[in-house]
Amino acid sequence: MSYKKFTENIGILGLNQLVIAVSGIIELSAITKLLGAESYGVWTQLIVTIGIIVPIAVLGLPYALVRFIAGEKNEKEIQDGFWSSFVLIVASSVLIFTILTPFSNTISRLFGCNVTLIFILPFIITLECLNQLQFNVFRAFQEIKKYTLFTLTKNMLETVLIIFVVFLKYGILGAVLSLLIIRIIFFLVMSLLIVKKIGFKFPKFLKTKEYLAFSLPSVCGSISFWVLQSSDKYFVGFLLGTLFVGYYAPAYTLGFCLTFFIAPLSFLLPPTLSKHHDENKLDEVKIYLKFSLKYFLAVAIPALFGLSALSKQLLTALSNLEIAQHSYYVIPFIASSTLLFGIYTIFGEVLSLKKKTIILGVVWFIAAILNIILNIILIPQFGILGAAIATLLGYLFATTVTCYYSCKEIQFEIDWKFISKSIISSVLMAVLIFKINPDNFSQTLMMVVLGAALYFFVIFLLKGFNKKEVEFIKGFLKK
């Protein structure tokens, strides 16, 4: 893949992730405004539960599939890799289904919800696992248009259906059933396309041992990452109550929306880097890493400053004043955590290339333990702010250690001059926002546009991008 095509795909996937992020914010707004903070707290705990079980059930196989079939030419190897993974994930999901069902009543009492919701979760989890595997087939073959079409359509239909059922007063039960319905539809559609593309073959599990040796360490990392990303909501619920989860979760969602800047890179980098690395094109690998980091920071740094400066106004507009007053101050901490996660994602690809995923697993395991300890200490003392601080410190540890080990494997150029110029431009933007201090939704939207315009004006004035980069950006925007 050429640099131009790579950058164009980043733009396409960036727009895709923007729509997904907006969909999540619309869901947040609909549930909090129509059902209240406590119902949103229940919804959050259900989503968080899906988020922890799915990475365990998939055994890291979708990620392994991308790593091993991205450059594979043998059709039989591709077929066996996919269908072997499919069968293993089904077996793993059924096992988890069997374990989870007897504890449904206990879990429903802990979450403060109807037990019916807990009975539905295993079906959603199984379909989500298989859908993740299927999505990664498109990712491995770099079929960006199909991937974008499916993810966009899935999230838009899901959002529309959730808003519809909540508006009709079917509550959280209706919203959870919406998740199930959408996943059934997309599982059937993608299954037909994948069978048409690669065909069906009874698996022989030829490379299952190699796949699992690569993927299982990432499961530990995924679980630990979940602990760092989501367990704070459990701790908040346990130590402060479901209502405070309803306060904390919307602010967390808004602060974590910076992930849509890194999502295109996390999608494109693994197959692209794997191909160049396996062909011994190390200079190509370094160039992709260098520009990926630069382009991510070019948008993530101003987004961090902008979200922090407009935290209360945005949260009030997207949820309600009660939630905003109780949680706007945690957004800068969560947004900073997200920026660190983006940096980790890029550097972590180096260790994946070298098949040293065990290091990533250990790093996230230690970060998760640190996060748990900090949550237990800080939440009783500082409330939901303590949870946000614990999250930031956990991401800081994981990113720092990953960068250290990554640089021992492959060193690539970091544009420190650009980073300093980006920070200067972002500070000027934040000063302008504080000075104007918008007090309603329309003014806030105008301030977002004005702030972005000021940032890019200053960054171009400081020559943050070279001439070739400026010409390419202009050509890409015109296209």
Residue with tokens 């955590």: 337
Give residue 479's pLDDT: 47
Give residue 428's pLDDT: 92
Structure tokens at 369: 């333990």
161 touches 182 (CB < 8 A) = yes
Q: How many CB atoms lie within 10 A of CB 396?
A: 16
Radius of gyration over every alpha carbon of the chain, rounded to an integer in angstroms: 22
Measured CA to CA, the distance from residue 308 to residue 355 in angstroms comes to 37
Output the six-digit token pair for 311: 């935290």
Of 187, 178, 56, the closest CA to residue 127 belongs to 187
CB within 8 A of 454, min separation 6: which ones?
A: 425, 428, 429, 432
Contacts for 244 with CB less than 8 Å, ≥ 6 apart: 41, 236, 237, 326, 383, 384
Q: What tokens were used for 273?
A: 């880097």
What residues contact 361, with CB distance under 8 A and at least 6 apart? 217, 218, 219, 220, 221, 224
Name the percent of the chain lying above pLDDT 90.
Answer: 15
Place of tokens 């007053």: 325
Question: Is the model's pLDDT at 477 over the cut of 70?
Answer: no
Q: What span, in angstroms and rounded, lies between the C-alpha atoms of 248 and 320?
A: 13
What letter represents residue 351's amino acid? Answer: L
Distance between CA atoms of residues 392 and 305, nearest Å: 16
Neighbours of 40 (CB within 10 A): 29
In terms of pLDDT, which residue wins out, 79 or 21? 79
300, 305, 311, 317 alpha-carbon torsion, rounded to 10°: -60
Residue 21 in contact with residue 260, Cβ under 8 Å?
A: yes
Do 465 and 459 meet the contact criterion of CB atoms below 8 Å apart? yes
Contact 190, 175 (CB under 8 A): no
Q: What's the rounded Cα separation, in Å, for the pair 159 and 354?
A: 39
Give the integer Cα–Cα distance in Å for 196 and 127. 20
Cβ 219 vs Cβ 89: under 8 Å: no
Q: Return the top range by mean pLDDT from 174-178, 444-448, 457-461.
A: 174-178
For the segment 292-298, the average pLDDT, to the nearest whole number, is 87
Q: Which residue has the tokens 């299952």?
A: 208
Q: Is the pLDDT of residue 18 over 80?
A: no
Residue 340: what pLDDT? 93
- The encoded tokens of residue 252 equal 């967390």
Identify which has the larger pLDDT, 243 or 1. 243
Task: With cut-offs at 50, 70 and 90, classify the pLDDT of residue 188.
Answer: very high
- C-alpha distances out from residue 217 to 66, 276, 357, 455, Å: 16, 24, 6, 41
- pTM, entire model: 0.69
Higher pLDDT, 385 or 213: 385
- Summarised one tens digit per residue, pLDDT across range 264-291 is 777 677 767 777 777 777 888 788 888 8
Alpha carbon distance 85, 199 (integer Å):
15
Q: How far apart are CA 431 and CA 436, in angstroms?
A: 9
Instruction: Dump pLDDT digits (tens) for 113-160.
Output: 788 888 888 899 899 989 888 888 877 777 777 777 787 888 888 888
Tokens 């992709």 correspond to 288
Confidence of residue 474 (pLDDT cuts 50, 70, 90): low
